[in-house]
Amino acid sequence: DTEVTQTPKHLVMGMTNKKSLKCEQHMGHRAMYWYKQKAKKPPELMFVYSYEKLSINESVPSRFSPECPNSSLLNLHLHALQPEDSALYLCASSQFQTEKLFFGSGTQLSVL
């Protein structure tokens, strides 16, 4: 299995909603990532987990809360988002931190 699976594929939420994005990989990778991507821009790093520990938080607002329950799963909990948070949210994994990232197909998030 060489896939990173993300759910849901699309999400529309209001500014008062709470939702979660989910990511799963079964490649035995020890690093997992959340990226945010706006149209026509490169992926922008949000969080990195290495060996299930948070190793990088790129000063992301607290309305985004990551969680790594085990080595195969990564969640991103969303609360009180703003319209400017609308974007494609990509999960990725790699054998070790920064090596050969495999991306999921992303969650297209719209905040109304």
Our CB check for other proteins shows the closer of 4 and 81 to be: 4
String marking each residue 34-53 x if it binds other proteins according to CB under 8 A:
------xxxx-x--x-x---
User: Between residues 60 and 80, which has the closer beta carbon with respect to other proteins?
Assistant: 60
CA distance 19 to 40: 26
> Rounded distance, CA 47 to CA 24, Å?
16
- Answer yes or no: are the C-beta atoms of 6 and 23 closer than 8 Å: yes
Q: Reduce the DSSP state of residue 83 to 3 states and report it.
A: helix
Contact window for other proteins (CB under 8 A) among 14-22, 65-73, 75-83, 97-105: 97-105
For residue 10, how far is the Cα from the chain centroid?
13
Give the interface with other proteins as residue ranges (CB under 8 A).
31, 40-43, 45, 48, 50, 55-56, 90, 96-106
